[in-house]
Structure 1
Amino acid sequence: MPTDALLARFLNELAPLDPVAVWAHGSLAGGDYQEGRSDLDLIAILDHPLKPSTARRLVALHRGLRTDPLAARLHCSYLAPGTQDAPNQRHLTWANDHVTRRPVTPVTRRELHDFGRVLHGGSPKDLLPEVTDQELAEFVVRDQREYWRPAVDKPDVWLQDIWIDVGLTTFARATVTLRDGRLTTKREALDLLPALGAPVQVVEDVVRRRYDDTVPSGVAPEGDWIDRRAELTRAYLGPAIDDLVTRYG
């Protein structure tokens, strides 16, 4: 399997830095992974401070993986010693073919505890603090209120597949977390969306592009549908997010 080959290559390249652990979360760990369409979401725990020289080595490592067609979807955050207990700590992260810094969110931490896949070293349960139900719920509400709700008012971004797909599934997953106190996969989120009032034709479009083997990966829809899809999604998500935040905030 190409994904397994890339992960083995990544772990081999990372080995000289002596990581304490490497974990997968997201679709790869949750059983909803679609090769060539899903991201490879990883967390690596290092055993030494992340000095500039180490950061340069990590950037070079990821750039060297670019010969693999799946490498653009491999994202990894690197946690230095003593930073696992700081929920707002921004960690060096390689994502979307460039380096940035971002926190490991409560959703990611809960995923790692509930169904994280150990690729190397110790378990998340032994090395990563647990997330309380209250911490998880507060983050989910804040994410919907402060990130996704303002984004609804930016019409241009919703012309892109990624915003449609992630915006809808994140809202459905937030609903499940706040209502039932659990995490869910993108597949379950997509199945739930019509019952939550989402536009059925848009949900079907997402499902078709994510799961239909006859649809070439990365090929965007054409014509008036792009504009119509954006309008339908924004018209749904704005009031839906407002209601969710009012109910659980």
Structure 2
Amino acid sequence: MPITQHLLDRFVADLAPHRPVAVWVHGSLAGGDYQEGRSDLDLVAVLPAPLTARTVWRLALLHARLRAEPLAAELHCSYLTPQTAAGAGRRHLTWAHEELFRRPVTPVARRELLDFGRVLHGAPPAALLPPVPDSELAAFVLRDQREFWRPTVDKAELWTRDVWVDHGLITLARATVTLQDGRLISKGEALDLLPGMGAPEEVVADVRSRRYGAPARAADEEWSQRRARLTRDYLGPAIDALVASYG
């Protein structure tokens, strides 16, 4: 993955003037399920405090300069400090989707970092992040299914888009395994499990082909509508059953 490694090397080099305490990778790249050009690059950087307005401006400029690099649009990074790293509910400065905003580093991301995070620079995650108990992880994934994904299933206009179909199905399978035994699984493992969970096999095959197969053509209108209906008809009852079992 030379393109990915070049981007990571440049990012760490460009971040050096900020004197990072640590730079870590989680998600697919750390977990061994990364697909270059298809997967996001999920990073966390720990910078010395405080993150002043000037620091924020310089980080925005850093990311703007990276835009010329292939895959730069897939690079997402949350910025912590040693003093704020332990706050699981705290909203951190984050670059994602071509803009800066604030969002938490979730219990799932934190568990990924602690279990299999990849260190690009500095201290390992365990030196700065507290453990994520199974109870905290389970509460988060259950709340995510109940409060985010279940209402989203009812928004029919979203489900003709690849991203909602892909993430909706995969997140359900991953949440199910986490609630059952506390494990985090990859997207590939989630796709393997979905048919046995009753998910529509033609939709699962569609997701798999776009993630792991040859570059896929955009779905035509008829398939988009059928795929949306199949996905929503499956996800609504499946999420309700999961929440009833563990909520």
Q: Does 1:26 align with 2:9?
A: no
Aligned equivalents of 1:165, 1:104: Cα separation in 2: 22
Corresponding residue of 2:246: 248
Give the Cα separation in 2 of the matches to 1:86 and 1:11: 24
Unaligned runs of 5+ in 2: none
* CA–CA distance in structure 1, aligned partners of residues 169 and 125 of structure 2: 28
In the alignment, is residue 170 of structure 1 matched against residue 168 of structure 2?
A: no
Q: Deviations over 1:149-187 (max 9, x none)?
A: 010010111111111111110000000000121100000
Query: How far apart are residue 7 of structure 1 and its match?
Result: 0.3
The RMSD of aligned alpha carbons is 0.8
Q: 1:85 & 1:209 partners in 2: Cα distance?
A: 36
Counterpart in 1 of 2:224?
226
Match of 2:234 in 1: 236
In structure 2, what residue type is equivalent to 1:221? A
- Specify the code of the residue in structure 2 equivalent to 1:27: S
How many pairs were matched up? Answer: 246
Counterpart for residue 215 of structure 1 = 215
- Aligned counterpart, 1:183: 184
**Pair 1:49-2:47 in alignment:** no
Q: Structure 2: how far apart are the matches of 1:236 and 1:69?
A: 36
Output the CA distance in 1 between the equivalents of 2:183 and 2:28. 16
CA distance in 2, matches of 1:60, 1:160: 31
Shift, 1:81, TM fit: 3.1
User: What is the TM-score of this pair, normalised by structure 1?
Assistant: 0.97
Q: CA deviation at 1:80?
A: 2.2
Query: TM-score, normalising length from structure 2?
Result: 0.98
Letter matched to residue 231 of structure 2: T
**Residues 86 and 128 in structure 2, CA contact (< 8 A), matched pair in contact too:** no
Q: Is the 8 A contact 2:203 2:227 kept in 1?
A: yes
* 1:1-249 alignment, distance < 5 Å: 1-212=2-213, 214-216=214-216, 219-249=217-247
The residue identity in structure 1 corresponding to 2:100 is V
2:43 maps to a residue whose letter is L
- Structure 2 distance, partners of 1:81, 1:183, is 26
Give how far 1:239 is off.
0.5
Cα offset, 1:220, TM superposition: 2.1
After TM superposition, which residue ranges in structure 1, 4 or more long, deviate above 4 angstroms?
Answer: none
Say which SS state the counterpart of residue 159 (structure 2) adopts. Answer: helix
Q: Please give the alpha-carbon distance, in whole angstroms, between the structure 2 residues aligned to 1:97 and 1:81.
A: 25
Aligned equivalents of 1:222, 1:96: Cα separation in 2? 26
Counting aligned pairs with the same residue, the percent is 63
